[in-house]
Amino acid sequence: MAAFLSSSLNALPGVWQGDAWAHAPQPAVATGHAPLDAQLPGGGWPLGCMSELLLPPQAHPEWTLVMPALAAHLAQGPGRAVLVTPPLEPFLPALQPLGLAADRLCCIHPPSPRADMAAAWACEQALRCRDVRAVLAWLPQVPAAVLRRLQLAAAQHRQLLWVMRPERSRAQASPAPLRLWLQPQGEELHVHVVKRRGPPLAQPVALPARTPVLAAALQAQAQWRRQVQAAAWGMGGRTPQEVEDALACLALATH
């Protein structure tokens, strides 16, 4: 009888069993991190679902994690990514080498009071906009009822939605089908799969703290800053090593 029921359930469209999580019928966008894709249902970020990223205090590893998928998703067609209350403004010269043009990003900072609720409202409206392909929202204090509304809006409009919340929220219930806790560990980023459609994952997924493209972009940014400093101090004709040594001496002299 049990075998008959199991085969009958498997024959129903849209029904999958817990031990078949890796092959669940979930539309997804590849994360750009192969070890993480191997642990996510559908092989990537769920499309039409909320992905909740739990962040440590005073750290912002979310960009390393979402950047490859965001750039690839925007490259597939017109539309924008909406950033709702980002704690730091994105540095556009560093994003352009990653494939993110300035005109594809839109930042929203709702005014106070009740900034969190206004941010959640802006996030929901962005998910309903036909010109929006992805939404990234930093919502540290919104209640579970608001998160459920955002999850429903993402499902109705088949949008990519990342919601960033503090790591202390991991003990709270959440409607997000996917919850990841991010822990920077030196040169690595440990991604704990707190919740997924399937069995729990005992060990975190270890990823490089910076992707090669992001590392190259940050290096180019640092070099550009050194060149600006060199020009300001009249050292434009010197070699890069001479500039580096001179700026180091200036830094020591000012302390």
pLDDT in tens, 139-164: 998 999 999 999 999 999 999 999 99
Measured CA to CA, the distance from residue 150 to residue 161 in angstroms comes to 9
pLDDT in tens, 26-35: 789 999 999 9
Check whether 47 has a pLDDT greater than 90.
Answer: yes
Calculate the average pLDDT of the chain: 81
Q: What residue type is 151 in one-letter code?
A: Q
CB of 44 closer than 8 Å to CB of 62 = no
Q: Where is mean pLDDT largest: 83-97, 187-201, 207-221?
A: 187-201
H helices of the chain, in order, are 2-11, 34-37, 62-75, 92-95, 115-127, 144-157, 212-232, 240-253
Q: How confident is the model at residue 248 (pLDDT cuts 50, 70, 90)?
A: low
Pairing, β 132-138 against β 105-108: unpaired
Question: Domains along the chain?
Answer: 16-210 (3.40.50.300), 216-253 (no CATH)
Count of Cβ atoms closer than 10 Å to residue 8 Cβ = 10
Count of Cβ atoms closer than 10 Å to residue 255 Cβ = 4
> What percent of the chain has a predicted confidence (pLDDT) above 70?
71
